[in-house]
């Protein structure tokens, strides 16, 4: 293609639409922003975001099932973090938009 665009599979656009759809909820954006700073458990996220436990758990589940987040169990606690493969791009995009809006 001469216009500088490159050919990609339609599946790539499907996945991108899924990711953007998941990030369309303000609470999920706040979760991703918090987890870009460091790994956190559910209680830490509740304290930081002021969101009810059932609500935060639902959003974490969606983000985890999509592959955006990973988790690990330590005793009774479950810790979440942004998937290492996606962290630079995802955290950069979220922080860029938030930074511009805050300015």
19-64 residue pLDDT tens = 888 888 999 999 999 999 999 999 999 999 999 999 999 999 999 9
pTM for the model stands at 0.81
- Per the CB < 8 A criterion, the answer to whether 31 and 98 are in contact is no
| Token reading at 25 | 């909820």
What percent of the chain stands above pLDDT 90? Answer: 57
Q: Is 72 helix (H, G, I), strand (E, B) or coil?
A: strand
Question: What pLDDT does residue 6 have?
Answer: 63
Predicted pLDDT at 12: 78
Structure confidence at residue 4 (pLDDT): 56
Better-predicted residue by pLDDT, 69 or 93: 69
Query: Residue 28 to residues 3, 6, 8, 19, 87: CA-CA distances in angstroms?
Result: 35, 31, 28, 11, 15
Assigned fold of 10-102? Arc Repressor Mutant, subunit A (1.10.10)
Give me the residue spans of the domains in the chain: 10-102
């Amino acid at each position: 293609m001469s216009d500088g665009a490159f050919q990609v599979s339609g599946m790539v656009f499907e996945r991108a639409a899924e990711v953007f759809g998941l990030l369309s909820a303000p609470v999920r954006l706040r979760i991703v922003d918090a987890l870009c700073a460091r790994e956190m458990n559910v209680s830490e996220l509740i304290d930081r975001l002021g969101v009810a436990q059932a609500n935060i758990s639902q959003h974490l589940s969606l983000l985890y099932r999509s592959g955006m987040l990973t988790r690990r169990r330590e005793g009774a606690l479950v810790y979440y973090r942004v998937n290492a493969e996606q962290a630079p791009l995802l955290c950069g995009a979220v922080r860029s938009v938030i930074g511009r809006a805050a300015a």
